[in-house]
Every structure is written in C-alpha cells, then in structure tokens.
Amino acid sequence: KNQVEQSPQSLIILEGKNCTLQCNYTVSPFSNLRWYKQDTGRGPVSLTIMTFSENTKSNGRYTATLDADTKQSSLHITASQLSDSASYICVVPPGDSNYQLIWGAGTKLIIKP
C-alpha cells in the first residue's frame, strides 16, 4: 500500500535554532518526492521537489535530502524564523500517475521567540 509517514507529528523550537523533519515512504514505483509548506488557513505551497537521482536539494534555508534506497527523506531548516511556523508535508506521487499525490499527515512546526 502506498503510504507516506512523517515524524515528529509536532515540534516546538526557539527562533534561530535548526531542526530536521523526517519522512518515510512506501510509494511504488517511485518518481519523485516533494516537500510542501502549509500555513494555517492556507493551501499547501511547494518548497522543493527531488527526483530519484538527487540526494540533496536546497531552497534558501530549507535543505531536503533523499535516500531512495532506504526510502527516507528529511527536511532541514536552518536559522529558523517565526514565519517558519507551519505544517510541513511530505508528498510522493505514485510513479504511474502524473497527478495523484500521496500526502503525509505533516509535521506541525512551531517557532517560539
């Protein structure tokens, strides 16, 4: 069964600190993996997309890693800001569909001043 699991479910850190969010997936066949940021009351916004051949990809203070062998990904946020408070969702589309998306439940990140 295609599944995406994320940990932790929620995380509270102080402003300026770093954090790492985890994603494990069992989606097959694998095509790519995406991280989305969802602010409260808003729709998801894409942060990064990683294909099978990419191990690391950065977008500003966000760095995503992918290990296709262990089917794990992480999202590292450096020098956190208050505006980083949001849910971060790992998404893996099944390789045999170019529009269906398998969504994780997300990690709710709270940045405290």
Partner 1 sequence: NAGVMQNPRHLVRRRGQEARLRCSPMKGHSHVYWYRQLPEEGLKFMVYLQKENIIDESGMPKERFSAEFPKEGPSILRIQQVVRGDSAAYFCASSPNRGGPDTQYFGPGTRLTVL
Sign of CA pseudo-dihedral 67, 54, 30, 10: positive
Is residue 26 close enough to count as binding partner 1 by CB under 8 A? no
Q: Which is nearer to partner 1, 45 or 79 (CB)?
A: 45
CB of 66 to partner 1, least distance (A): 15
Asked if 35 and 19 count as a contact pair (C-beta separation under 8 A), the reply is no
Rounded distance between C-alpha atoms, residue 75 and residue 86, angstroms: 13
Encoded one letter per residue, x for contact with partner 1 by CB under 8 A and - for no contact, window 53-92 reads: ------------------------------------x-x-
Sign of torsion over alpha carbons 80, 84, 86, 89: negative
Tell me which of 53, 70, 83, 100 binds partner 1, using CB under 8 A. Answer: 100
Q: How far apart are CA 81 and CA 113, in angstroms?
A: 9
Query: Interface residues with partner 1 (CB under 8 A)?
Result: 4, 32, 34, 41-46, 49, 89, 91, 93, 98-101, 103-106
